[in-house]
Amino acid sequence: MYSDLAVFSGRAHPELARAICARLGRPLGRCDVFEFANENIFVQYQENIRAQDVYIVQPFSSPVNTSILELLIMIDAARRASAGRVTAVIPYYAYGRSDKKDQPRVPITARLIANMLETAGVDRILTMNLHAGQIQGFFNIPLDELNALYTVAAYFRTKDLHDYTVVATDVGGEKRARDLAVKLDLPLAIIDKRRIGNTETTEAMHVIGEVEGRNCLILDDEISTAGTIVSAATALRHHGARDIVVSCYHPILSGPAVERLKALDVKELVVTDSVPIPADKLLDNTTVLSIAPLLGDAIGRIHSGQSVGALFQ
Ligand code: R5P
């Protein structure tokens, strides 16, 4: 249906794009992306992409708003270069928390970005662990949402998890944590977390489940300021938990996150490379699991018209 497959990268995470290409056994496509002195972004594909099946890798990582706009411009350039099909590969979709009008006079930014991507001319989306599954429905085009659960579970299966309980940081994350608990055959506990207004401040209230004298594996979708993790760990220790291991799919690590995590006595922090982690934010106890094989295999399957769901069976 489409001629060759071509993978390109914006400036957000070229290392991940290169690792995806290595998995696919093909070179990363050449594309110039830079900013003029006036901060206007320029994009030019340096090879022919006419009729090709084009994949643009760009998580919405810091600087978030630039990453989003850059992807939109790359999609526009690909469309105007007569690409056969354009897929945006967005391992981390920012603004996921802005997915409903839950207060007066607020936007639904996750939906706005979906509209902008479609207006730019993207044909498909390949993403991973959205903050809320409903965001899939903001798109009127095909979207594949991958799940790093399998990558994370495979890693933890190599560990001795004797006496561990998987912990969800809030009620909304219960299913995510339960899926991991089931895969690892471990019990589950849930923190009753409340966010204080629109601030980054969270307060852990109660722990639902048995954690006294047990080791805890806290799972969250993302760590932004690490406020949630600190509250969760504090509540767990207060309830008599022993060792604490933390895992998340998207290590955003913004603002005070690194200092907070340093101060927190956690045994290990296990994350994926859905977003780049600058060297100064990489703590000694951090294990980074690559999702490049998952994304590479999904791209290969989408290109050849095979099932993506079969990856998870
Ligand atoms: C919230 O609903 C999410 O699942 C995460 O718990 C949250 O985004 C983490 O943010 P922070 O690290 O700033 O507490």
* Chain centre distance of CA 105: 28
State yes or no: is 281 an active-site residue.
Answer: no
Mean pLDDT of 195-219: 82
Mean of pLDDT values over 91-116: 97
Q: What is the bridge-based pairing of β-strands 202-208 and 164-168? A: unpaired
Element (H, E) at 259: helix 257-263
pLDDT of res. 205? 74
Average pLDDT over every residue of 292-310:
97
Q: Which of 292, 298, 294, 290 is nearest to 5 (CA)?
A: 298
Instruction: Say which of 100, 101, 175, 193 is annotated catalytic.
Output: 193
In this predicted model, what pLDDT tens digit does every residue of 237-295 receive, in sequence order? 999 999 999 999 999 999 999 999 999 989 999 999 999 999 999 999 999 999 999 99
Beta-carbon count within 10 A of 312 CB: 11
Could you tell me the pLDDT band of residue 200, with boundaries at 50, 70 and 90? low
* Domains observed in the chain: 5-147+292-312 (3.40.50.2020), 150-289 (3.40.50.2020)
Say what the pLDDT of residue 204 is. Answer: 59
* Mean pLDDT on 44-64: 98
User: What are the tens digits of pLDDT across the range 151-189?
Assistant: 999 999 999 998 999 999 999 999 999 999 999 999 999
Q: Which atom of ligand 1 is nearest to the CA of 231?
A: 14
Mean pLDDT of the chain: 95
With a 6 Å cutoff on the Cβ, whether 227 touches ligand 1 is yes
**Other C-beta atoms within 10 Å of 230: how many?**
18
- Partners of 204 in the β-ladder: 193
Span 190-209, average pLDDT: 76
User: Rounded CA gap, 202 and 232, in Å?
Assistant: 9
How much is the average pLDDT of 73-81? Answer: 98
Using the mean position of ligand 1's atoms as its centre, give its distance from the Cα of residue 176 in Å: 14
Q: Does the pLDDT at position 38 exceed 80?
A: yes
pTM as predicted: 0.95
**Ligand 1 in reach of 61 Cβ (< 6 A):** no
Instruction: Provide the pLDDT for residue 286.
Output: 97
- Tell me what pLDDT residue 202 has: 64
| Residue 187: exposure state from Cβ atoms within 10 A (0-12, 13-18, ≥19) | middle
Position in ligand 1 atom list of the atom nearest CA 202? 14
Please tell me which residue, 151 or 312, carries the higher pLDDT value.
151
